[in-house]
Amino acid sequence: MSGVVGRRLRKLDSLKKATGEAVYADDISLPRMLHAKILRSPHAHARIKKVDFARALKHPGVMGVLEGKELPGKYGIIPWTQDETALAVNKALFIGDEVAAVAAVDELAAQEALELIDVEYEVLPALVEPEAALADKANVLHEGNKHGNVTKHVDLTFGDVEAALAKSAAVVEENFFYAGSTHTPIEPHCAVAQYDGEGNLTVWSSTQIPHYVHRELSKVLGIAPARVRVIQPFLGGAFGGKSDPFSLEFVVAKLAMKLGRPVKCLFTREEVFWAHRGRHPMKMRFKVGLSKEGAIEAVDSKILIDGGAYSSFGLVTAYYSGQLLTGPYQFGTYHFDSTRVFTNKPPCGPKRGHGSVQPRFAFEVALDMAAEKLGLDPIEVRRRNFIGQNVKTVNGQQITSNGFLQALEAVEKASGWKERKGKLGYGKGLGVAGSMYISGTAYPIYPNDMPQSGIQVKLDRSGKVTIFSGASDIGQGTNSQVAYLIAEEIGCDPRDCTVVAADTDLTPVDLGAYSSRGTFMVGIACVEAGQKLWALLSQAVGEKWGVSTEQVDASWGTFRGPQVDQQMSFRDAVQLTEAKFGTLGATGSYRTEKLGGDYRGGTIGASPAYSFTAHVAEVHVDVETGQWKVQRIWAAHDCGKAINPTLVEGQIEGSVYMGFGEAAMEEMTYYPSGLHKGPSLLDYRIPTSVDTPELSAMIIESVDPKGPHGAKEAGEGPLHPVIPAISNAIYDAVGVRFTELPFYPGQLFKMLKEKKA
Amino acid sequence: MSGVVGRRLRKLDSLKKATGEAVYADDISLPRMLHAKILRSPHAHARIKKVDFARALKHPGVMGVLEGKELPGKYGIIPWTQDETALAVNKALFIGDEVAAVAAVDELAAQEALELIDVEYEVLPALVEPEAALADKANVLHEGNKHGNVTKHVDLTFGDVEAALAKSAAVVEENFFYAGSTHTPIEPHCAVAQYDGEGNLTVWSSTQIPHYVHRELSKVLGIAPARVRVIQPFLGGAFGGKSDPFSLEFVVAKLAMKLGRPVKCLFTREEVFWAHRGRHPMKMRFKVGLSKEGAIEAVDSKILIDGGAYSSFGLVTAYYSGQLLTGPYQFGTYHFDSTRVFTNKPPCGPKRGHGSVQPRFAFEVALDMAAEKLGLDPIEVRRRNFIGQNVKTVNGQQITSNGFLQALEAVEKASGWKERKGKLGYGKGLGVAGSMYISGTAYPIYPNDMPQSGIQVKLDRSGKVTIFSGASDIGQGTNSQVAYLIAEEIGCDPRDCTVVAADTDLTPVDLGAYSSRGTFMVGIACVEAGQKLWALLSQAVGEKWGVSTEQVDASWGTFRGPQVDQQMSFRDAVQLTEAKFGTLGATGSYRTEKLGGDYRGGTIGASPAYSFTAHVAEVHVDVETGQWKVQRIWAAHDCGKAINPTLVEGQIEGSVYMGFGEAAMEEMTYYPSGLHKGPSLLDYRIPTSVDTPELSAMIIESVDPKGPHGAKEAGEGPLHPVIPAISNAIYDAVGVRFTELPFYPGQLFKMLKEKKA
């Protein structure tokens, strides 16, 4: 109706960010505010015998201190695996683990005081490698864990995999390693707490899950949730790295309560590396069997997931590493066996494409290998295995719309695949990969029957539309999308919308920015709220004009009827409607769909809709040195419907960039002691704009029957195929395969030398 | 149901105010904020020939300037009498009128720069006295006003007054003068403006009418109202003195737009006197005729109202000076002739008890005189004339509940009137007076059919209730009342309510804190919104327990059913309800009642409900010096229903205090030039706690059929009877009457001397 959805529009807050008006957590400064710093363990595994603050408390400017036993309550994003405390109570589990905190009148005084805290440690053996942790039954990180050092083991079988492998024409069996990487958001974690005389706690935090932070603060601090308010200010990037409750949120809150003054804590860049929650390193063994026509008969994987010291989302990671692989291709049979293990390193968690980027890499490379065995074109083998629309995957996930074939065709055409594949000469190659991802999960993390997402709208007689949205805009543009969707329904100019977001006092609950749930779930809530308001607006205006509600149309701030003279501003329409119905407001919700059903593993991994992606990468290799360069990546992504194509393209580009970084250079590396080799942006390298390949983002619109205006996710799916497409392209160029990340040129040089030999 | 309404509770924000956490307008400090100062006219009436900023712009720290012609749009609270501009465009109309403004990096630099602005004036004759202004047809303040220097003339007759006077047994004819006074809020006016890169203007202002400020800013600045946001922070007193749009709001907004930096302007105390809008001086001639039984046969008044330089609410003042007198007594006939005149002095406006305090003084003294003539007891004559409930006044106003008789009886009993009246001896006396006031008006100031008041509520699964209220808490406790009323309906603990108030972006429209409309109108909106939510809550909980919705009860955060084990926290009830119905929110409105009807003068003065008050004052006079002292005032006020008795008592006490100050000492005085004699709190005296009489506030509850839980107004009505009650008590004590305010001891000494002579 309104011509807002589908249009290229600026983000509503882009100018605020460009001009510096946007207020981030660290921009908040309150009267009498103190600054907190956290002391971190120098040992990868150590029992804390004693914390002595005597010297620190004498340091000028120090106003208070905090140790673990003052906040012993455990928290964690997943209710069944809560194993973190604000500060270590008994043991420190990695180098960088939080041990004690100090609040002082400024950051420097707090930093200085950290060195005056005397901690007596009993050093324990460090378990840095997952195999060692798995094997060691005596030295358990989380004492009392009946599974030893295992966070979660998932072993699910769908069909007779062995039989299917046995009858396959081509079987590939290969080991893969996906290195750990971290998010490197520009903004480090920051939290500010204020505790007022009435016993109300307010915490501003650079979080992407204000609702869960709200819950955990209430629990750990022992304050009724109605007295806790969590506000997410503007966020300088997150990518999954801010989707756990973090120590600093509890530390500033408790210190504010103890000291009666506001307290801020801003992580240094080094501390962001300790906070981590990035991509899990995975060691994967894949067996893939294809029929001679190229049909995928069987997939069998065994995955060892290096979790780091705490659970974070690890339970989900274990499921996702298997459950999300079963599209866009039809699997004849499937088995996966994933084990997430605790190690004495910074905890891994959800990074863009959570849990499924690693097995996708392994599988898409293995599929390439199998296709080669069968003499099939890599695109053709993927096309033949297309699972289709409105089907169930082998593990029971219900796929609705599916634009994968169009995506595959788009990158095939754009890359000149048919004309160019195999004809570029030695050192130059094309590689393809596909993938599937979820648009949120049916699973609300903590069991409840309430909506996952809510919206409340107020229409003002000034023509202003205020949208209270719990959803977390982490830069992806959720706040703008919310405005577009409401504007589409009610016919206002989206620029007349004010979006109040992610403030647990002011906005309805939304579960947060994770699992690519935003556009789909809050979008449905927007449509519902907008439709309620449209019913009132169209009735009032229709009556005024003597026409039916169906004859009333509105877009971009103007209402129109069937007659030429039937025209009215949005503001006048609101006034007419308010005069008829009273103060105008409405709510909308996304109610969790009960999916699940006939497959094992509960609902983890089940999504109301799936996105699909196909990439082709063109790589040129300098065969003398092993240096390789992506000439271009063509990425076609089925997002269902692009609410704002510019934002979808931005998500595709960002995903490709991030995947490219993991393929090319990003890696969390540790000394045997468990010490990170370089927790800084000097040592941990990410691609600059100069390093970033040319990329073509293409939007495929399958118009999902369930999504808002047909929309599905776009923020994580497009990351997946980059890495295998590059590996496959390198193979196409020079005939050697990367099965381990990152694809270091030195390694390529070595492989080329070995191949020649 | 809930036991919240009627209970003595602390204001929800009292601790914030006590601890200093509350943020007032001047507490707001934004990055790069400039400070504005306003140059004021030294002439009472002058044409502005030229404003030269050359020297001022060279002053260090000055960033910009503003003159009247840059903002020529006229504004004003009443749409038909808009005669103000942000800064004088052609003429300055009083000493202190705004002429030019400057913005600088700090207040001092701005103040210094004011002295470097060169203004060329053509001085015009000053019209300081209303009689002179009325007579002068050539020297018109507002050139082009077809009524010369008259703001508004109202002449309304109800019945044959002359005939009724002719047949009256006792007729009193007397002149009265009510001096002008001002509000003296502790907080001076302050406004801060920010203009962002998207063209959105935000103004924080110490206003009690954010909605009208919103409208006028949009109009004068030429910005779409959807792009203007007005926020009222905590307010340090208002009393009607902040219910106009003020120059500083436009000045900071325009300067922020011109300079691209936030701008603040804080009035000095002297400027608060220039801004004024206080009590209109009125010269009143009253004729009152009573039958020999004491029935009021006729009331005839002629009132000359000294308006000062601008209209403000003056049109309404002219009506209120006559329309609001016609209770609590039955008038046989009534005529009033009121004329508001422009004079070259700071503009008068609405001060607590707007427009009707002055004629109430005159009438209640005249009634006392008439009673004396007839040999009737002053309480008895008032009782005999009681108008009753569910009746129409002589001028057609519909009275619903009426607790005046109970109020009269309460003060009669508490003061020991029957035993003590006439028996205290010379120099000691008792005086009585009664009054009536409105609970808001049927008149929304600018003609429209939309609600006068709106509420939007959000229920959170944490148990937190967020109430978005447009109403202006100016210290009277509206925000707390809103929480009590919602809590009463939905059974939560009111302390779990967060009230977001008076922010045009976030809250529904409420017309502001004037005409004692708050509790009544926003209260009805609260009840409506609360009932909508209760319908959902009781349905969900009832279903869970297998009982009817009527069997579900809730109070103070606990739900209960008919069985002992049927108990549930409010939080659990919300979660159950949210699971059933989705995100929980509701709106409520107060729709303007169409009153008016069979009387002339439109709806001005018509209210949905009227409050009634009776006071007895005991005064002791030192007959040697004329010094007088109020021993005690007994004030009984029919507020319909006290939502929180402590707050109602506070309103009664504050009203009595303020009326006492006007009776005893407060007066705006001017030199013949139009210069205020002492625009400071040193020269303009207000009672301190030592000066304030003992007072007994008594609540009468008539339970109005229309009010929320029966409530009516309490904030202004109780001010009215103080002044005549004191005058009548002085007469009772020493046999001389004050017919002019303030009741200076020197004047009393003079009157006593004259009486003796």
Q: Is A585 on the interface with B (CB under 8 A)?
A: yes
pLDDT surpasses 50 at A376: yes
B-chain residues within 8 Å CB-CB of A468? 458
Say whether the ipTM exceeds 0.90. Answer: yes
Residues 222-251 of A with CB under 8 A from B: 224-229
Among A411-425, A531-545, A597-611, B111-125, which is the least confidently predicted range? A597-611
Q: Is B7 on the interface with A (CB under 8 A)?
A: no
The predicted model gives A588-600 an average pLDDT of: 68
Q: Are residues A620 and A750 in the same domain?
A: yes
Nearest CB among B19, B465, B584 relative to A587 is that of B584
Shortest CA gap B257–chain A (Å): 15
**CB contact at 8 A, A501 and A476:** no
Residue B308, domain member (yes or no): yes
A-chain residues within 8 Å CB-CB of B506? 458, 466, 500, 506
**B227 and A509 in contact by Cβ < 8 A?**
no
Tell me: the pLDDT tens digits for B517-542?
999 999 999 999 999 999 999 999 99
**A451 and B18 in contact by Cβ < 8 A?**
no
Domain boundary among the residues A558, A590, A622 is at A590
What is the rounded distance in angstroms from the CA atom of residue B159 to the CA atom of residue B155?
13
Q: Are residues A516 and A659 in the same domain?
A: no
B14, closest residue in chain A (CA to CA):
A198
**B583 and A454 in contact by Cβ < 8 A?**
yes
Lateral strand order in the sheet of A170-178: A150-158, A333-342, A296-308, A282-290, A170-178
Instruction: Provide the percentage of residues in chain B whose pLDDT is more than 90.
Output: 95
- Number of alpha carbons in the 13 Å side-chain half-sphere of residue A255: 36
What is the rounded distance in angstroms from the CA atom of residue A279 to the CA atom of residue A286?
19
Residue A304, domain member (yes or no): no
How many helices, marked H, and strands, marked E, lie in chain A? 19, 28
Tell me: the pLDDT tens digits for B269-278?
999 999 999 9
What is the rounded distance in angstroms from the CA atom of residue B96 to the CA atom of residue B270?
9
Q: Which helix (H) or strand (E) holds A499?
A: strand A497-501
Residues 494-523 of B with CB under 8 A from A: 495-496, 498, 500, 504-509
Nearest CB among B198, B451, B582 relative to A582 is that of B451
The predicted model gives A437-445 an average pLDDT of: 87
For testing contact with chain A, the best of B218, B571, B583 (most A CBs within 10 A):
B583
pLDDT confidence bin for B2, thresholds 50/70/90: confident
Domain boundary among the residues A532, A560, A590 is at A590
Residue A649, domain member (yes or no): yes
Shortest CA gap B620–chain A (Å): 45
Shortest CA gap A38–chain B (Å): 28
Tell me: the pLDDT tens digits for B416-439?
999 999 999 999 999 999 999 999
For residue A41, the enclosing domain spans 32-124+186-237+242-275
The predicted model gives A198-211 an average pLDDT of: 97
Q: Is B106 on the interface with A (CB under 8 A)?
A: no
Instruction: Provide the percentage of residues in chain A whose pLDDT is more than 90.
Output: 95
pLDDT confidence bin for B566, thresholds 50/70/90: very high
Q: Are residues A95 and A221 in the same domain?
A: yes
The crossing angle, in degrees rounded to 10, of helices A518-545 and A570-581 is 80
Q: Are residues B583 and B635 in the same domain?
A: no
Instruction: Classify strands B170-178 and B98-104 as parallel, antiparallel or unpaired.
Output: unpaired
Shortest CA gap B591–chain A (Å): 7
Q: Are residues B464 and B550 in the same domain?
A: yes
The predicted model gives B409-413 an average pLDDT of: 98
The predicted model gives B677-706 an average pLDDT of: 96
Q: Is B195 on the interface with A (CB under 8 A)?
A: no
The predicted model gives A399-403 an average pLDDT of: 97
Phi, psi of B312, rounded to the nearest 5 degrees = 45, -135
pLDDT confidence bin for A443, thresholds 50/70/90: confident
Q: Read off the CATH number of the domain in which B374 is found.
A: 3.30.365.10
Lateral strand order in the sheet of B296-308: B150-158, B333-342, B296-308, B282-290, B170-178
A216, closest residue in chain B (CA to CA):
B462
What is the rounded distance in angstroms from the CA atom of residue B479 to the CA atom of residue B500?
8
Shortest CA gap A108–chain B (Å): 23
Handedness of CA B75, B340, B236, B512 (dihedral sign): negative
Nearest CB among A225, A454, A460 relative to B509 is that of A460
pLDDT confidence bin for B666, thresholds 50/70/90: very high
Interacting residues of A263 by C-beta distance below 8 A, sequence separation 6+ = A33, A34, A35, A36, A103, A192, A193, A251, A252, A253, A255, A256
A454, closest residue in chain B (CA to CA):
B583
pLDDT confidence bin for A444, thresholds 50/70/90: confident
pLDDT at B600: 42
The predicted model gives B85-109 an average pLDDT of: 98
The domain total for chain B is 3
Long-range contacts of A535-543, Cβ-Cβ distance < 8 Å, separation of 24 or more: A536/A577, A536/A580, A536/A581, A536/A584, A537/A490, A537/A491, A537/A573, A537/A574, A537/A577, A539/A577, A539/A580, A540/A573, A540/A576, A540/A577, A540/A579, A540/A580, A540/A581, A541/A568, A541/A573, A541/A576, A541/A577, A543/A580
Q: Which helix (H) or strand (E) holds B747?
A: helix B745-756
Residue B129, domain member (yes or no): no
Could you tell me where the beta strands, DSSP code E, fall in B553-604?
553-555, 558-560, 567-569, 584-590
Q: Are residues A419 and A459 in the same domain?
A: no
Shortest CA gap A495–chain B (Å): 9
**B582 and A588 in contact by Cβ < 8 A?**
yes
**B454 and A21 in contact by Cβ < 8 A?**
no
A-chain residues within 8 Å CB-CB of B583? 451, 454-456, 508-509, 525, 587-589
The predicted model gives B581-594 an average pLDDT of: 92
CB atoms within 10 A of CB B476: 24
For testing contact with chain B, the best of A261, A459, A462, A571 (most B CBs within 10 A):
A462
Tell me: the pLDDT tens digits for A221-256?
999 999 999 999 999 999 999 999 999 999 999 999
Q: Which helix (H) or strand (E) holds A372?
A: helix A357-374
Q: Are residues A61 and A97 in the same domain?
A: yes
Handedness of CA A339, A345, A350, A353 (dihedral sign): negative
Assigned token pair, B716: 């202004």
SS (H, E, C) B206-227: CCCCHHHHHHHHHHHHCCCHHH
**B196 and A15 in contact by Cβ < 8 A?**
yes
Tokens 């004590």, residue located: B733
Lateral strand order in the sheet of B610-621: B428-438, B610-621, B628-638, B694-700
What is the rounded distance in angstroms from the CA atom of residue B470 to the CA atom of residue B480?
13
Q: Is A29 on the interface with B (CB under 8 A)?
A: no
Residues 460-489 of A with CB under 8 A from B: 460-466, 468
pLDDT at A592: 80
pLDDT surpasses 70 at B603: no
What is the rounded distance in angstroms from the CA atom of residue B217 to the CA atom of residue B232?
14
| Mean pLDDT over each residue of chain B, to the nearest integer | 96
pLDDT at B267: 98
Domain boundary among the residues B535, B560, B590 is at B590
Tell me: the pLDDT tens digits for A477-499?
999 999 999 999 999 999 999 99
Handedness of CA A612, A618, A622, A628 (dihedral sign): negative
Buried b (16+ CB within 10 A) or exposed e, B87-106: bbbebbbbbbbbbbbbbbbe
Which of B271, B283, B263 has the alpha carbon at shortest distance from B241? B271
**B225 and A463 in contact by Cβ < 8 A?**
yes
Nearest CB among B12, B229, B582 relative to A587 is that of B582
3-class DSSP assignment, residue B133: helix
The predicted model gives A570-598 an average pLDDT of: 88
Q: Is B754 on the interface with A (CB under 8 A)?
A: no
Q: Are residues B585 and B611 in the same domain?
A: no
What is the rounded distance in angstroms from the CA atom of residue B186 to the CA atom of residue B208?
14
Cα dihedral B423, B424, B427, B428 in deg (nearest 10):
-120
DSSP letters for B370-428: HHHHHT--HHHHHHHTB--SSEE-TT--EE----HHHHHHHHHHHTTHHHHTT-S-TTE
Lateral strand order in the sheet of B558-560: B553-555, B558-560, B567-569
**A579 and B449 in contact by Cβ < 8 A?**
yes
pLDDT surpasses 70 at A599: no
Q: Is A751 on the interface with B (CB under 8 A)?
A: no
pLDDT at B595: 61
Buried b (16+ CB within 10 A) or exposed e, B311-333: bbbbbbbbbbbbbbbbbbbbbbb
Q: Is A144 on the interface with B (CB under 8 A)?
A: no
Percent helix, strand, coil in chain A, to 5, is 30, 25, 45
**CB contact at 8 A, B21 and A197:** yes
B-chain residues within 8 Å CB-CB of A452? none
Q: Are residues A624 and A573 in the same domain?
A: no
**CB contact at 8 A, A66 and A39:** no
Residue A150, domain member (yes or no): no
Nearest CB among B19, B454, B506 relative to A197 is that of B19
Among A170-174, A664-668, B596-600, which is the least confidently predicted range? B596-600
Q: Which helix (H) or strand (E) holds A383?
A: helix A378-384
Q: Are residues B255 and B364 in the same domain?
A: no
- Beta partners for A633? A617, A695
DSSP letters for A250-311: HHHHHHHHHHSS-EEEE--HHHHHHH---BPPEEEEEEEEE-TT--EEEEEEEEEEEEESS-
Could you tell me where the beta strands, DSSP code E, fall in A75-127?
91-92, 98-104, 118-123
- Beta partners for B191? B205, B265
B-chain residues within 8 Å CB-CB of A463? 224-226
Instruction: Classify strands A201-205 and A228-231 as parallel, antiparallel or unpaired.
Output: parallel
Q: Is A565 on the interface with B (CB under 8 A)?
A: no
What is the rounded distance in angstroms from the CA atom of residue B458 to the CA atom of residue A468?
10
- A vs B, Cβ pairs < 8 A, gives 167
pLDDT at A551: 98
Tokens 């990055």, residue located: B31
**B589 and A583 in contact by Cβ < 8 A?**
yes
pLDDT surpasses 80 at A57: yes
Q: Are residues A470 and A413 in the same domain?
A: no
A198, closest residue in chain B (CA to CA):
B15
What is the distance between the terminal CA atoms of chain A, rounded to a whole angstrom? 66
Q: Which helix (H) or strand (E) holds A336?
A: strand A333-342
pLDDT surpasses 80 at B443: no
Residue A327, domain member (yes or no): no
Q: Are residues B302 and B436 in the same domain?
A: yes
A212, closest residue in chain B (CA to CA):
B462
pLDDT confidence bin for B547, thresholds 50/70/90: very high
| CA R_g for chain B | 27
The predicted model gives A532-538 an average pLDDT of: 98
Residue B83, domain member (yes or no): yes
pLDDT at A603: 59
Q: Which helix (H) or strand (E) holds B730?
A: helix B722-734
B-chain residues within 8 Å CB-CB of A509? 460-461, 583
**B525 and A16 in contact by Cβ < 8 A?**
no
Buried b (16+ CB within 10 A) or exposed e, A148-177: bbbbbebebebbebeebbeebebbbebebb
**A456 and B455 in contact by Cβ < 8 A?**
no
Q: Is B271 on the interface with A (CB under 8 A)?
A: no
**A456 and B585 in contact by Cβ < 8 A?**
yes
Tell me: the pLDDT tens digits for A253-310?
999 999 999 999 999 999 999 999 999 999 999 999 999 999 999 999 999 999 999 9
pLDDT at A597: 46
Instruction: Provide the percentage of residues in chain B whose pLDDT is more than 70.
Output: 98
Tell me: the pLDDT tens digits for B128-177?
999 999 999 999 999 999 999 999 999 999 999 999 999 999 999 999 99
Shortest CA gap B468–chain A (Å): 9
Phi, psi of B485, rounded to the nearest 5 degrees = -70, -40
A-chain residues within 8 Å CB-CB of B229? 464, 498
Assigned token pair, B242: 């902040």
Residue B392, domain member (yes or no): yes
